[in-house]
Structure 1
Amino acid sequence: MDQIKACRSFVRAVELGSLSAVAREQHSTQPTVSKTIAALEKQLGVRLLERSTTSLTTTEQGKRFYERAKRVLEEFSEAVSDARGLTEKPTGLLRVNAPLGLGQLRLNALVLEFLELHPEIEVELILNDRFVDLVEDGVDVALRLAGSLPPNMIARKIASAQRYLVAAPAYLARHPEIRRPEDLASHRYIGFARPANGEVSQLSGPGGTVQIATRSGYLVNSSLAIRESFLMGAGLGICPSWLVHDLLESGQLRRVLPGWSAAGQEASLLYPSRRYQSLRATIFMNFMTERIPQLPGFSAPHFGR
């Protein structure tokens, strides 16, 4: 049995979720792929996959073997490329995870630009606002915004974004004027739903740093929904500059208390803390490290804080 071929079939079966998909990719047949993986399981003495007529799932042993086998295949591929002098042409699938709002508003265009530069790389961009387990979900690179970073991960800080108060002109016209942070207590606040945050916000400005109690009638776990709520004049709130930069430029939103701001938001690239990092992942991270600070609302990262 060709162990490299068998491992590759198993890894792709996990990633594609279907033996038929692997067969199509390898220009083979589903029974052939099934027999290859069955032979691998027999040699290992463990069941790697649970098969049914409608689904394909990994066993606990299969999950652990997948992570190790994937790294082995990546190293083997890079070794072959290096021997052939092809390391300047990275290939293969790259799974990337990022927040939904940032992904739709800013990151999607960058990924397409990256693919134009590296057409032999495939990117699967997974957008959601939850903290995924990079290893368990098979993610090569993740982009994270602020918050505590997962353990056992390597983090590279690549950009910073200011955070400040914004509201629509229509909202401001209908409510009492805001001249100082204390005035915010009587206004309708829209914020990101984080149970541990409560309803206390911290602002820094000419008078130092103050904590203000805000009256929240609406909390939502989507930055895109927050952006839309501001536009609808539903309230005011603190948000990162990348989320509303275009709306401020067009006058659809205005800064409230422009001399005051909240703590900035840091953008970091994360990848599993393992010895080997594929060439395609390294090139992707270098590209994002250069391009994200150039996006509207972002700047080079601030260190030493």
Structure 2
Amino acid sequence: MIYVRDLQLFIKVVNLGSFSAAGKALNLSESAVSKSIARLERYLDVKLIHRTTHTLSISDAGQEFYNGCVRGLREIEQGRAAADCLSIEMKGDIRIHSSPGAGQILVWPLILEFMNSHPDIRIEMVFGKPGLDMIEHDFDIGFRTNDLTREGNPGSPNIRRRSLRPVPYRIVASPAYLERKGRPERPEDLLDHNCLVLLNQPQSDEWSFADGDGQKLLRVNGALRSNSPLVIREAATNGFGVARMLNFAADDLIAQGALVSLFEDRIITDQQLQLLFPNFEKLPTKIRVLIDFLVERLSVGQSG
């Protein structure tokens, strides 16, 4: 193994032309310097320095090694300085706005993971309706689910958008509800059922279903509408009605028998999770690092 300290000693010996001068400069004995050079030569299996009683000269191999050491240690120092700078900048507040649903189920656990890795970061995460002016309300990052079946709003040129992954849904109901109200056989049957609507889109009560080569939109209705996926989940598992829930929120409950999946061959994945951030020429380091982390973890192809 090569130690950085040995490389520094070798460079100092070459620069000063003697073991004793290098030792004095680094507050080490001449014997310690000699052992360090010998350790390098044993590891490399090559003679780096020719030394007699009165003279010291560097070998051809030693000169090449010296040149590489100078470059390498310069890069190490630059990397250390960059890391120190990053450490200093990874402090302070980050404000995040997200629409409910995917933001709470997919994004929030990753924000907690990021906070554990960066304890000097303070997060303010607000869940609300999409369409908020992020810059006007001083948010650093935003998340929303975008309806892929509709023509999207180009939005503000001051905001950059990055599509991360599809957001698949299921139509679910509890066994108790289906026993009481009957199981809907066709999507159209939902018009006669109590549908629990998650208010995460302007047209949240319009549910999409595959219909031949196209799709069918059904405007559902029911006794409960909420912008909280937790409220919708609790209502569905307690038998209050039929819900449209994220796969990630529903799958465990389906496996436990608390919910039943409906119309599996008719479901369309029509939502896309998008990351929003200000279109600034240079983002603060803490914002850029968080964006890179979230993109890596949430982009298509990642698990979870």
Describe the SS at the equivalent of 1:182.
Answer: helix
Shift of 1:150: 4.1
Instruction: Give 1:244's aligned residue.
Output: 250
Percent of residue pairs identical: 23
The equivalences for 1:1-305 within 5 A come to: 84-85=81-82, 86-89=84-87, 90-93=89-92, 94-120=94-120, 122-131=121-130, 132-146=132-146, 148=153, 150-151=155-156, 152-193=158-199, 197=203, 199-204=205-210, 208-293=214-299, 299-300=300-301
Higher mean Cα deviation, 157-166 or 216-225? 216-225
Are the equivalent residues in 2 in contact too, given 1:164–1:260 (CA < 8 A)? Answer: no
Measured after TM superposition, the shift of residue 284 of structure 1 is 0.6
Closer, same or farther in 2 for the Cα pair 1:201/1:111, shift >3 Å? Answer: closer
CA distance in 2, matches of 1:106, 1:196: 21
Aligned residues of 2:166 and 2:269 also touching (Cα < 8 A): no
Structure 1 residue identity aligned to 2:90: T
Tell me the TM-score normalised to structure 1 length: 0.61
Does the aligned pair in 2 maintain the 1:140–1:272 contact within 8 Å? Answer: yes
- Number of aligned residues: 215
Distance 2:185 2:113 in 1: 43
**TM-score normalised by structure 2 residue count:** 0.61
Distance 1:87 1:222 in 2: 40
Q: In the alignment, residue 98 of structure 1 is paired with which amino acid? A: S
TM-aligned CA distance change 1:140 to 1:264, over 3 Å: same
What SS does structure 1 have at the residue aligned with 2:167?
strand
Q: What do the CA deviations read for 1:187-216 (whole angstroms, capped 9, x no partner)?
A: 111113479538543201667522334342
Unmatched segments (≥5 aa) in structure 2:
1-77, 148-152
CA shift for structure 1 position 87:
4.0
Shift of 1:83: 11
2:255 aligns to what SS in structure 1? helix
Cα distance between partner residues in 2 of 1:186 and 1:246: 27
- What SS does the aligned partner of 1:277 have? coil
Alignment-mate amino acid for residue 184 of structure 1: L
**Which string of whole-angstrom CA distances, capped at 9 and with x for unpartnered residues, describes residues 95-140 of structure 1?**
22223454554433322221232334x1323222223322122211
Note closer, same or farther for the CA distance 1:239–1:150 as it changes in structure 2 (3 Å cut).
farther
Stretches of structure 1 lacking an aligned partner (at least 5 in a row): 1-80, 294-298
| Larger-gyration structure (1/2) | 2
Inter-CA distance 286–231: structure 2 relative to 1 (3 Å threshold): same
Q: Tell me, in whole angstroms, the C-alpha distance in 2 between the residues paired with 1:280 and 1:274.
A: 14
Helix, strand or coil at the partner of 2:190: helix
> For the aligned residues, what is the CA RMSD?
3.0
CA 1:100/1:127 → structure 2, altered by over 3 Å: closer, same or farther? farther
CA distance in 2, matches of 1:158, 1:111: 16
Task: Rate the CA distance shift 1:271–1:206 in 2: closer, same or farther, 3 A.
Answer: same
**Separation (CA, whole Å) in 1 of partners of 2:214 and 2:188:** 13
